[in-house]
Amino acid sequence: MKYLNIAAAKPKVGVFSLTCCEGCALQLANKEETLAAFLSAVDVVNFREISSDKSDDYAIALIEGSISREDEVASLKAIRDRAKVLVAYGTCACFGGVNRLKNVLDFDWMNREVYGETPKATSPVRPVREVVPVDFEIPGCPVSKAEVERIVTHLVLGLPFAYPVYPVCVECKQRFTVCRFDLGELCLGPITRAGCNAPCPAGGLGCWGCRGPAEAPNYEEFLELARSRGIGDAELRERLSFFGGFDSAYELAQDEPLAVRPVA
């Protein structure tokens, strides 16, 4: 890659997956129209979605997925020690994602239900930043490859990069999308960070907040708005807890703890 006709150094990149579906890694590999340019800017030395080659010699590490086992803690710390820059990408890596829903369950009960007589090692789900220092976070479920590419361009060429500070509602207005609240539906757009181009509301589904909170979200006003439209606290708690990015709003919305431990 060249910038101002000067060839830029190609940093070595490792892409790693922890507890996740690897959908974010697939996003990086599947965007064929920009894949060649993306790969020309970096030297990918570890990325199991696209190659069986493996190397521990990398400057940038992209981490997908949350931490749900102690062996992942050790792996993540080793990656952090090797990498000059660590990027948590995807909602699971940034907030814990849907995996965090298991934290309200009794782990022994869960292991018996799923694995029977062969229980597996498990621990409370955590985002990457609760285990090691993180230099950049790129939320989304799945992540936006365009945003990953902007981060990589920033790291390789030093070009400016800034996250949107406004909520998803702004992008809905830019797309002339009818507000889901006006249709009597719950939507986390007023408190969720923009940057995704609001595909869910445009497609007929209220935002579930996979990108986490916008800057300085007004949770009290949001909850008042939702309740004024007849949306109950149970539905609010379910939506706010789904991806793990809205703990503060969740606390305001609950009358009693959501954690219900199944009877063994």
Q: Is the pLDDT of residue 263 over 80?
A: no
47-88: per-residue pLDDT in tens? 988 888 899 999 999 999 999 999 999 999 999 999 999 999
State the pLDDT confidence band at 8, using cuts at 50, 70 and 90.
low
Q: Is the pLDDT of residue 9 over 70?
A: yes
pLDDT of residue 200: 96
State the pLDDT confidence band at 255, using cuts at 50, 70 and 90.
low
Which residue has better confidence, 159 or 227?
A: 227
Report the chain's mean pLDDT, rounded to a whole number: 88
pLDDT of residue 75: 96
Residues of the chain with CATH 3.40.50.700: 2-157
Q: Is the pLDDT of residue 134 over 80?
A: yes
Please spell the DSSP secondary structure of the chain, one letter per residue: -EETTEEPP--EEEEEE-BS-SHHHHHHHH-HHHHHHHHHHSEEEEETTT-S---S--SEEEEESBB-SHHHHHHHHHHHHH-SEEEEESHHHHH-GGGGGGGGS-HHHHHHHHHTTS-------B-GGGTS--SEEE-BTTBPHHHHHHHHHHHHH--------SBHHHHHHHTTPPPTGGGT----GGGBB--S--HHHHTT-----TT-BPSS--HHHHHHHHHHTT--HHHHHHHHHSSS--HHHHHHH-SS----PPP-
pLDDT of residue 257: 41
pLDDT of residue 19: 95
pLDDT of residue 258: 39
pTM of the model: 0.86
> What percent of the chain has a predicted confidence (pLDDT) above 90?
62
pLDDT of residue 166: 94
139-177: per-residue pLDDT in tens? 999 998 888 888 888 888 788 888 898 999 999 999 999
Q: Is the pLDDT of residue 206 over 70?
A: yes
The mean pLDDT value for 171-197 works out to 95
The mean pLDDT value for 92-121 works out to 89
Q: Is the pLDDT of residue 41 over 90?
A: no
pLDDT of residue 151: 86
Q: Which CATH architecture has domain 2-157?
A: 3-Layer(aba) Sandwich (3.40)
